[in-house]
């Protein structure tokens, strides 16, 4: 007789294997020797094969069949895990094992070749892997597709349940109109802040000392995390007691690492505070990417770009960096911190122009899967869209199509989550402000009320609750881009003295 415990043990095995795979991925991007990539690809392929067998094999299939027909055997948590395990089976189980393993090995190899391409500033080194990954996904999409209207909808749905091209086109149109109008007002009527002091030399040690102390005040627990260096910053959570963050450094641009650490620690503090009852089932309870990004962006933008925060935090940063900013007042610092400029690099973009970087990637990915654009044209398409939306000439591959690691990981459909994360974060902030006095909280030095609200309304649920439900339960309404546009308008009208 199949029991709930059988389900829990099977899913726990999948979760443990997922942790091993995540550990391998973290090591590959932080400390693995340059020449070890081909051996690591074999290791990752082996782990992928084991994961596939556990998640889709005869034993799992029998468990799902038996417990689906005998729902009385399950408590509330069991019903949830069964539902999520079935959904996971529907995605992974429809792919032939040989293709699944080959795809995972390709992804492992692709990350190595992406790094090599960046070193050489030559997209052609990475290009064959982009084409292979896209080829695999185009092969898998018909196996996954149910009622989705387009192939790209299938990929979007895997990162954000219920998200569609139709919805995104509408949301992104609202953002394009709002961003363009505000940028025009700032350029015509605003007083452009001076920010050259942001490029004064600050050592890596000083940057790390300030940023890590700040994110701990915001709740990131170093007993459950760590900071490492990498090419492209990311957070890797093996479990709620091991959520690791990474960053990259520039001693002539401290804003990049400080905000980058804020961002990744936002991901990390989320992972560290998921309800322990979900520990063994995390492999089938993935957290929505938009909800995850809302919390990293809450740290980076809602807090890390707010005047109330820096009024309290700037003296700490100034003291840590002393004497570099001793001559810069908090008011001058804050205005310079908010200066908006079109940039080539997404991760260095200010919050006002950032969604345009996401829209560019969204339109390219949509063209790949829905419009069957010639893959040889991707660099030219990238360049054309940066000219159209940001008025920038892309000088080379490193500052263009090679800047993001996501395609090397097969994460087509992921980028829109960043933009949605901005919108979710602003909507959460608007609701929180009804009961929390942010200025008083930051002035007190005790940021726990902000931590507690997010833990109660967002973090504890992990991937057990769908993103729309989390948003509506927390804010009382569905997604509304107006909150983000209003938030940006207030920030920049203040900084530009409109």
Q: Which residues are known to be catalytic?
A: 264
Closest to 401 measured CA to CA, from 364, 351, 367: 364
The structure tokens listed for 80 are: 């949830």
Residues 6+ apart with CB under 8 A from 162: 466, 468
Give the Cα separation of 355 and 481 in Å (integer): 12
């649920």: which residue's tokens? 461
Is 29 within 8 Å of 248 (Cβ atoms)? no
SS3 per residue for 217-282: HCCCCHHHCCEEECCCCCEEEEECCEEEEEECCCCCCHHHHHHHHHHHHHHHHHHHCCCHHHHHHH
């992804």: which residue's tokens? 107
Per DSSP, the residues of 40-63 read: HHHHHHHHHHHHHHHHHSHHHHHH
**306-310: long-range contacts (C-beta < 8 A, 24 or more apart)?**
306/438, 306/442, 306/491, 307/334, 307/494, 308/438, 308/439, 308/442, 308/443, 309/438, 309/442, 310/334, 310/337
Give the Cα separation of 96 and 233 in Å (integer): 33
Count other Cβ atoms within 10 Å, centred on residue 422: 28
Is 337 within 8 Å of 310 (Cβ atoms)? yes
Give the Cα separation of 305 and 351 in Å (integer): 9
Closest to 182 measured CA to CA, from 350, 425, 402: 350
Give the Cα separation of 324 and 364 in Å (integer): 42
Most distant CA pair in the chain, distance = 74
HSE-CB of 466 using CA atoms within 13 angstroms: 12
């Amino acid at each position: 007789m199949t029991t709930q415990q059988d389900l829990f043990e099977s899913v726990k095995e999948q979760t443990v294997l997922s942790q091993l795979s995540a550990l391998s991925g973290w090591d590959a991007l932080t400390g693995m020797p340059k020449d070890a990539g081909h051996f690591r690809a074999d290791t990752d392929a082996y782990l992928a094969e084991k994961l596939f067998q556990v998640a889709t094999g005869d034993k799992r299939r029998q468990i799902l069949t038996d417990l689906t027909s005998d729902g009385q055997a399950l408590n509330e948590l069991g019903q949830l895990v069964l539902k999520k395990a079935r959904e996971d089976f529907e995605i992974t189980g429809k792919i032939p094992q040989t293709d699944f393993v080959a795809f995972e090995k390709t992804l492992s190899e692709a990350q190595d070749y992406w790094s090599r391409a960046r070193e050489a500033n030559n997209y052609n080194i990475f290009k064959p892997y982009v084409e292979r990954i896209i080829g695999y996904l185009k092969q898998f999409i018909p196996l996954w597709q149910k009622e989705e209207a387009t192939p790209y909808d299938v990929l979007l749905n895997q990162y954000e349940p219920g998200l569609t091209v139709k919805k995104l086109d509408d949301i992104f149109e609202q953002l394009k109109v709002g961003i363009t109008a505000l940028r025009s007002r700032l350029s015509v009527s605003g007083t452009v802040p001076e920010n050259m002091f942001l490029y004064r030399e600050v050592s890596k040690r000083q940057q790390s000392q300030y940023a890590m102390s700040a994110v701990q005040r915001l709740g990131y627990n170093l007993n459950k995390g760590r900071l490492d260096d990498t090419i492209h910053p990311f957070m890797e959570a093996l479990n709620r007691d091991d959520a690791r963050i990474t960053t990259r450094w520039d001693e002539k641009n401290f804003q990049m690492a400080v905000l980058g650490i804020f961002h990744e620690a936002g991901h990390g503090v989320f992972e560290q505070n998921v309800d322990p009852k979900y520990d063994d089932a995390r492999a089938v309870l993935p957290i929505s990417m938009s909800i995850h990004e809302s919390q990293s962006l809450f740290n980076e933008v809602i807090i890390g770009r707010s005047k109330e925060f820096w009024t309290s935090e700037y003296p700490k940063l100034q003291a840590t960096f002393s004497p570099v900013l001793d001559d810069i007042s908090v008011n001058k610092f804050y205005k310079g911190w908010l200066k908006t400029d079109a940039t080539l690099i997404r991760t260095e973009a200010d919050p006002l122009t950032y969604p345009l970087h996401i829209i560019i990637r969204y339109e390219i990915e949509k063209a790949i899967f829905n419009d069957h654009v010639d893959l040889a044209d991707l660099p030219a398409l990238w360049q054309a869209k940066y000219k159209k939306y940001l008025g920038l000439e892309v000088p080379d591959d490193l500052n263009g199509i090679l800047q993001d690691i996501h395609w090397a990981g097969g994460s087509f459909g992921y980028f829109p989550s960043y933009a949605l994360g901005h919108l979710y974060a602003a909507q959460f902030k608007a609701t929180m402000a009804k009961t929390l006095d942010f200025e008083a909280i930051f002035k007190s030095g005790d940021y726990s009320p902000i931590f507690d609200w997010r833990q109660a309304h967002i973090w504890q649920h992990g991937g057990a609750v769908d993103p729309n439900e989390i948003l509506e339960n927390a804010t009382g309404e569905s997604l509304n881009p107006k909150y983000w546009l209003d938030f940006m308008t207030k920030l920049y009208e203040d900084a530009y003295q409109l």
